[in-house]
């Protein structure tokens, strides 16, 4: 199906609540019929969040994980991974590099690592907030309310926790429950919001067993949760995981760049002022121009990796990650050139969602 609408207001009144049309757009494989969707997503992005592309420096601070998610290479039973945990000094050094390179945000990401005690994280957050003007985003998995309260007090600004899929049966099938668990991911997203974090979430596209109607429901949930940040990545099979051994069936949604772009574009249209990255997973399955196309199809954020090179390959959530061996110093001019080649510029400041209000 081709989108017949050329302005955001008409999309809002005529398509936003029409699940059938959204599903037809997601099913469309003929790229020539998708130019109207790309154009509308790009125009809506320009209108609501402007031309700036915000850079978030990603630091993968630990690959220890106590969970057994069926798709992720860091799952605890994967004994082929050499585990690491960065020291407080190493993390703060990476944050200083982010500030030096002019980034507005540092994202501290890890598996669900019980060794990263609340105090360690608070200490890191306090140091970064004292020494820089960076926004600090945490992405540390499903953590307790008390920890989230403490880190917010320490100065953390944002938290990322993808709900991965709105299909609760599929979610349960690929996320073995932890015994002490009281809050679901959706509960945690609500807690984060009440604590005053800017809240990010997102999904994987093309999980075996996922259906197009699930993606339409994902879009509805992005709207309902009023998310500040939304990341969409294609599912990439990891050979050392149970899901990585599952053969894809004909009914499965393709886990390809095109489907991820359609979701990115529609996400821009359902949450026009959110921060939407062109994710590393998209860039991994389209190395040639994955970043540029993502930025032209709704995305306004990129997340260069600042993790020390010696740890990069060990943060093996999926194989073949783009730009794995590029140091921050090599990455920076490259990503700058690629962003500027699309006619956009690198944003200054923290690039929070509330900051976008000034653009409109």
Binding site for ligand 5AD (CB under 6 A): 71-72, 162, 164, 204, 233, 235-236, 238, 281, 317-318
CB of 255 to ligand 5AD, least distance (A): 8
* Helical ranges in the chain per DSSP H: 8-14, 19-27, 35-49, 88-100, 118-131, 145-154, 168-174, 185-194, 212-225, 257-270, 280-285, 290-295, 309-312, 328-340
Contacts of 304 (CB under 8 A, 6+ apart): 55, 56, 57, 58, 103, 323, 328, 331, 332, 335
35 contact partners, CB below 8 Å, separation of at least 6: none
Between 48 and 235, CB nearer to ligand 5AD: 235
| CA–CA distance, 350 with 360 (Å, rounded to integer) | 18
Q: Distance between CA atoms of 323 and 283, rounded to whole angstroms? A: 9
Alpha carbon distance 293, 274 (integer Å)? 18
CB of 351 to ligand 5AD, least distance (A): 20
Query: Which residue, 44 or 259, has its beta carbon nearer to ligand 5AD?
Result: 259
The CA-CA-CA angle for residues 339, 341, 345, to 5°, reads 45
Q: Check: CB of residue 234 under 8 Å from CB of residue 285.
A: yes
Query: Is 250:241 a contact under the CB 8 Å cutoff?
Result: no
Please say which residue, 124 or 204, places its beta carbon nearer to ligand 5AD: 204
In the complex, what is the shortest distance from the CB of residue 144 to ligand 5AD, in angstroms, rounded to a whole number? 18
Beta carbon nearer to ligand 5AD, 206 or 298: 206
Q: How far is the C-alpha of 70 from the C-alpha of 244, rounded, in Å? A: 8
Given the complex with ligand 5AD, which of 3 and 302 has the nearer CB atom?
A: 302
Considering the complex, what minimum distance in angstroms separates the CB of residue 164 from ligand 5AD?
5
Name which of 38 and 235 has its Cβ closer to ligand 5AD.
Answer: 235
Q: In angstroms, give the least distance from the CB of 160 to ligand 5AD.
A: 8
How many other C-beta atoms can be found within 10 angstroms of the C-beta atom of residue 20? 10
Min dist CB 344 to ligand 5AD, Å, is 25
CB of 241 to ligand 5AD, least distance (A): 7
Pick the closer one to ligand 5AD by CB: 103 or 318: 318
């Amino acid at each position: 199906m081709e989108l017949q609408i050329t302005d955001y207001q008409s999309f809002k009144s005529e398509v936003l609540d029409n699940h059938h049309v959204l599903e037809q757009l997601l099913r469309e494989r003929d790229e020539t019929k998708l130019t109207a969707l790309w154009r509308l997503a790009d125009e809506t992005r320009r209108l609501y969040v402007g031309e700036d592309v915000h850079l978030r420096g990603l630091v993968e601070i630990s690959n220890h994980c106590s969970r057994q998610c069926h798709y992720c290479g860091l799952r605890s039973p994967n004994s082929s991974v050499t585990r690491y945990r960065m020291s407080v000094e190493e993390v703060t050094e990476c944050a200083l590099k982010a500030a030096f390179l002019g980034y507005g945000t540092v994202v501290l990401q890890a598996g669900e690592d019980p060794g990263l005690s609340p105090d360690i994280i608070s200490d890191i957050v306090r140091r970064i907030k004292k020494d820089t003007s960076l926004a600090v985003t945490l992405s540390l998995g499903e953590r307790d309310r008390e920890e989230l309260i403490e880190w917010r007090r320490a100065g953390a600004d944002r938290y990322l926790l993808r709900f991965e899929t709105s299909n609760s049966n599929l979610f349960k099938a690929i996320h073995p429950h932890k015994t002490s668990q009281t809050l679901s991911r959706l509960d945690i997203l609500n807690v984060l919001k009440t604590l005053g974090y800017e809240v990010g979430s997102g999904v994987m596209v093309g999980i075996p067993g996922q259906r197009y109607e699930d993606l339409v429901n994902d879009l509805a949930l992005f709207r309902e949760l009023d998310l500040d940040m939304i990341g969409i990545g294609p599912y990439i099979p990891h050979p050392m995981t149970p899901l990585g051994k599952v053969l894809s069936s004909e009914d499965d949604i393709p886990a390809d760049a095109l489907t991820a772009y359609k979701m990115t574009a529609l996400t821009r249209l359902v949450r026009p002022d959110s921060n939407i990255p062109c994710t590393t997973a998209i860039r991994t399955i389209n190395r040639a121009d994955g970043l540029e196309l993502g930025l032209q199809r709704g995305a306004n954020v990129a997340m260069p990796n600042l993790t020390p090179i010696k740890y990069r390959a060990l943060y093996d959530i999926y194989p073949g990650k783009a730009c794995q061996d590029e140091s921050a110093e090599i990455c920076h001019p490259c990503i700058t050139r690629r962003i500027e080649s699309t006619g956009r510029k690198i944003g200054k400041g923290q690039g929070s969602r509330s900051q976008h209000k000034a653009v409109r």
